[in-house]
Chain A
Amino acid sequence: MRITRQAADARRGRLVRALAPLLTLSLVGVGATACGGSSGSDTSKVTLTVGLFGDFGFKPLYDEYKKAHPNVEINERTAQYADHHKNLAAHLATGTGAADIEAIEVGYISQFSAQPGKFYNLLDYGAGDLKSQWLDWKWQQGLSTDGKSLVGLGTDVGGMAMCYRTDLMAKAGLPTKRDEVSKLWPTWSDYIEAGKKYQAKVPDSHFFESAGNMFRAMVGQAPVGLYDDKDNVIVGSNPDVKKSWDTTVQAIQAKMSAKLTAWTPEWTAGFQQGSFATIVCPAWMTAYIETNAKDASGKWDVSAIPGGSGNMGGSHLTLPKQGKHPKEAADLLKWLTAPEQQAKVFKATGNFPSLPKLYDDPSIKNFSKPFFNDAPTGQLFAEAPKAVKPQHMGPKGGDVMQTVQQGLGRIEEGKQKPDEAWSQVLKDVDKLK
């Protein structure tokens, strides 16, 4: 600075004078954050951003956390499922824009765990001691591909059940009590048989909402799904995928599908209007049913899913390396995924914990909601995660699934015959690689 003043160029001097306070300020800022990182006893506020999709049920928890940590301010931002993950990928690649804590759904987790360099290693922040709390497979999904670092800690798991509308089932002359309903469809072909009866009696409504969801559930129950262990897409060669496809096509041809696409306004309205009688229902889906069908309390109930247990969805929380306050963010992340908080989230929204010690906790085990006719959701959703041997989800698992679902959608819309749709799916999936 002194040199420029000696140069005595008036204009440049003015510029420097204008910049000086800014420079000083930013230096002070750097000093302050450095202190925050090392001592933690400073009084300056740390603002943490949490990037989510859908409803994680964290909002009421923030206030509690802020009370215990007065120096932390929390901002939450949410986006739609697919957009959220696309944006995160772009933010990580371009080196800017990611939140301090980012949620990642299991369909996308491999894509991100393949680049552990973009995330803080949670093992460096004391997560290793907590390992025994989690379902083993949930923990494994959060590990980086090389197994050396921990990218994410699990929030919820999506043990599957089948949600159904009692009023519509009664209209079709089908059983409405949840035990009888579970016995009605032990397998998917029984489910389709029930659907045929339903369609004959209640032709102006549909048995389920979307073929894509049914397909996703069936594939989720198979030991191996869309990818093999070596990250190869095996849609074309895995007989379980083709079998699920064929069963779904049968259901479409029997006109059981309401042909809705998940997350569209028509789909959302359908819960309330009774456009469909059943929906494949991982634990987190109950949150959507409850918010989308506010006036249908007591009409929805939960039964076992055809075809045995399986997992669908569930998420992890991660710390992108772009975050400026990894220590504070890690503390918040560990707190949000801790047993007390997961239990609270489950009771408020329905997102089911990924911590097995909670499953036997009486407050979870005996939990039920009047909205779902007092179905014992705490017990129902605990079956699957304990039994599940999870599939390996490849780097583009979410995209591959959506591509296959679009193929089923083309059959639903009558645009293609099943064979044509299948061969186009194989071609499209091939291009995703």
Chain B
Amino acid sequence: MTAQVSTARPAPPLAARRPPRRTRAWLHRLDLKGSPYLYIAPFFVLFGAFGLFPLVYTAWVSMHDWNLLSDDHPFVGLRNYTELFVDPYFWNALGNTASILVLSTVPQLVMALGLAALLNSRLRGQTFFRLGLLLPNVTSVVAVAVIFSQLFGRDFGLINWILRTLHLGTVDWQSGTASSQIAIAVMIVWRWTGYNALIYLAAMQAVPTELYESATLDGASPLQQLRKITIPSIRPTIIFTVLVSTIYGMQVFAEPQLFGGGGPDGVTGGKDRQFQTLTLYLYEHGFNRFEFGYASAIAWVMFAVIVIAAAVNYLVIRRIRSAS
């Protein structure tokens, strides 16, 4: 901008007070070298304040016995981490997170792929359906969790009512390990399938139509076309969605918290911790017992776990690509 302004301004009369030539050159150089940094600074300042600083500060806190209610926070080194690794409830939460992740991500992405393929064919009212796909995603998580928790209610829930009328017997969704995790997975699937379907759809529209035309001429069925043309063509997008849903799945919080209902079950993820996820475990220690040091250690371990999970995912999916 500075450069533009200086060229647009009519040259001042020679006699005008202008800075000595050397200063001007220096200013010019500064503008040239410095301005770009200034332009990108907002991102880095924001990232520093809201990304990097909390990350580093959390690491610092995690090495202290940092109770929110007490005034002194003694340094304990890595003790929080060693305690964490021998806490069976941590491993329980990690296991629950992993199983909810699988239970939610796999059906979600498979269904999204199917929906996208359907929408990619010529349909009436395409915009309507595409908007409809996104609707669950713009609904507030809290509303989704509250409503689904009622649907999965033991005594007066809709799902059990249907099961009862079909004489199939009822399920105590919340108390069972598998049933509670399925209920939570259903909430996640409902919320995110449409979103992923839209991303797939966008990628599918970039696949050249000639491929499909010649495949049709060769007598390939729609299913074959999906497997042999569509999926290979949108693989990078699939990798992206797998990564994003993994990262989201590792941090599931509102669904199990609200599914447990207010009170202690929402914090421990059921009486037997059957659906306590890692984030809920962090919440229990940080915001219920105010053990911020320990909670910070959990946060860092979670960070490491997410990085590892994302890396493993990436490698596995890349492997599939190169194999085929």
A250 at the A/B interface (Cβ < 8 Å)?
no
Contact indicator per residue, chain A 179-215, by CB within 8 Å of chain B (1) or not (0)? 0000000000000000000000000000000000000
Does A266 lie within 8 Å of B155, measured CB to CB?
A: yes
Does A93 lie within 8 Å of B262, measured CB to CB?
A: no
Question: Once bound together, how far apart are the Cα atoms of A258 and B262, in whole Å?
Answer: 19
Enumerate chain A residues within 8 angstroms of B156, measured Cβ to Cβ.
265-266, 269, 273
Enumerate chain A residues within 8 angstroms of B149, measured Cβ to Cβ.
265
B245 at the A/B interface (Cβ < 8 Å)?
no
Enumerate chain A residues within 8 angstroms of B262, measured Cβ to Cβ.
80-83, 263-264
B224 at the A/B interface (Cβ < 8 Å)?
no
Binds B, one of A41-49, A232-240, A307-315, A409-417: A409-417
Does B69 lie within 8 Å of A266, measured CB to CB?
A: no
Question: Once bound together, how far apart are the Cα atoms of A410 and B175, in whole Å?
Answer: 9
Binds A, one of B108-116, B285-293, B296-304: B285-293
Question: Once bound together, how far apart are the Cα atoms of A263 and B268, in whole Å?
Answer: 16
B261 at the A/B interface (Cβ < 8 Å)?
yes
CB distance from A112 to the nearest CB of B (A): 10
A90 at the A/B interface (Cβ < 8 Å)?
yes
A133 at the A/B interface (Cβ < 8 Å)?
no
B318 at the A/B interface (Cβ < 8 Å)?
no
A322 at the A/B interface (Cβ < 8 Å)?
no
Enumerate chain B residues within 8 angstroms of A379, measured Cβ to Cβ.
none
A377 at the A/B interface (Cβ < 8 Å)?
no
Question: Once bound together, how far apart are the Cα atoms of A266 and B149, in whole Å?
Answer: 11
Contact indicator per residue, chain B 134-177, by CB within 8 Å of chain A (1) or not (0)? 00000000000000011001111000000000000000100100
- Assuming A93-B69, A415-B175, is B287 touching A265 (CB within 8 A)? no
CB distance from B220 to the nearest CB of A (A): 52
A115 at the A/B interface (Cβ < 8 Å)?
yes
Question: Once bound together, how far apart are the Cα atoms of A259 and B270, in whole Å?
Answer: 13
- Assuming A269-B155, A406-B264, is B271 touching A415 (CB within 8 A)? yes
Enumerate chain A residues within 8 angstroms of B172, measured Cβ to Cβ.
259, 413
The answer, among B68, B267, B268, B274, for a CB contact under 8 Å with A89, is B68
A14 at the A/B interface (Cβ < 8 Å)?
no
Does A82 lie within 8 Å of B290, measured CB to CB?
A: no
Enumerate chain B residues within 8 angstroms of A155, measured Cβ to Cβ.
none
Enumerate chain A residues within 8 angstroms of B213, measured Cβ to Cβ.
none
Does B150 lie within 8 Å of A90, measured CB to CB?
A: no
The answer, among A93, A264, A406, for a CB contact under 8 Å with B261, is A264
A132 at the A/B interface (Cβ < 8 Å)?
no
Question: Once bound together, how far apart are the Cα atoms of A264 and B154, in whole Å?
Answer: 11
The range of chain B's interface size is: 20 to 34
CB distance from B119 to the nearest CB of A (A): 36
The answer, among A90, A270, A416, A432, for a CB contact under 8 Å with B155, is A270
B265 at the A/B interface (Cβ < 8 Å)?
yes
Enumerate chain B residues within 8 angstroms of A275, measured Cβ to Cβ.
155
A:391-433 near B, CB below 8 Å:
399, 402-403, 405-407, 409-410, 413, 415-416, 432
Contact indicator per residue, chain A 54-80, by CB within 8 Å of chain B (1) or not (0)? 000000000000000000000000001
Contact indicator per residue, chain B 261-280, by CB within 8 Å of chain A (1) or not (0)? 11111011001101000000
- Assuming A80-B262, A261-B261, is B271 touching A413 (CB within 8 A)? yes
Question: Once bound together, how far apart are the Cα atoms of A92 and B268, in whole Å?
Answer: 24
CB distance from A361 to the nearest CB of B (A): 36
The answer, among B150, B263, B265, B274, for a CB contact under 8 Å with A81, is B263
Enumerate chain A residues within 8 angstroms of B287, measured Cβ to Cβ.
86, 90
Q: Return the chain B residue nearest A112 by Cβ.
A: B69
Enumerate chain B residues within 8 angstroms of A90, measured Cβ to Cβ.
68, 287, 290
Q: Return the chain B residue nearest A87 by Cβ.
A: B287
A262 at the A/B interface (Cβ < 8 Å)?
yes
Question: Once bound together, how far apart are the Cα atoms of A285 and B262, in whole Å?
Answer: 18
CB distance from B5 to the nearest CB of A (A): 16
Does B69 lie within 8 Å of A89, measured CB to CB?
A: yes
Does A93 lie within 8 Å of B271, measured CB to CB?
A: no
Question: Once bound together, how far apart are the Cα atoms of A413 and B270, in whole Å?
Answer: 11
- Assuming A270-B155, A413-B172, is B289 touching A263 (CB within 8 A)? no
Does A261 lie within 8 Å of B289, measured CB to CB?
A: no
Question: Once bound together, how far apart are the Cα atoms of A90 and B271, in whole Å?
Answer: 25
The answer, among B263, B274, B290, for a CB contact under 8 Å with A261, is B263
Q: Return the chain A residue nearest B68 by Cβ.
A: A93
B150, B156, B288 — most chain A CB neighbours (10 Å): B156
Enumerate chain A residues within 8 angstroms of B68, measured Cβ to Cβ.
89-90, 93-94
- Assuming A115-B69, A273-B156, A410-B272, is B264 touching A93 (CB within 8 A)? no
Question: Once bound together, how far apart are the Cα atoms of A259 and B174, in whole Å?
Answer: 12
The answer, among A89, A93, A270, A413, for a CB contact under 8 Å with B272, is A413
The 5 closest A-B pairs by CB, nearest first: A409-B271, A413-B175, A264-B261, A402-B264, A80-B262
Q: A82-B262, A263-B263, A270-B155 are in contact. List 8 more A-B contacts (CB 8 A).
A: A81-B262, A82-B264, A82-B267, A90-B290, A93-B290, A264-B265, A410-B271, A432-B289
- Residues on A facing B (Cβ under 8 Å): 80-83, 86, 89-90, 92-94, 115, 259, 261-266, 269-270, 273, 275, 399, 402-403, 405-407, 409-410, 413, 415-416, 432
**Please, could you name 20 A-B residue pairs with CB atoms under 8 Å apart, sorted by A?**
A81-B262, A82-B264, A89-B290, A90-B68, A93-B68, A115-B69, A263-B263, A264-B265, A265-B149, A265-B261, A266-B153, A270-B155, A273-B156, A399-B289, A402-B264, A406-B268, A407-B271, A413-B172, A413-B175, A432-B289
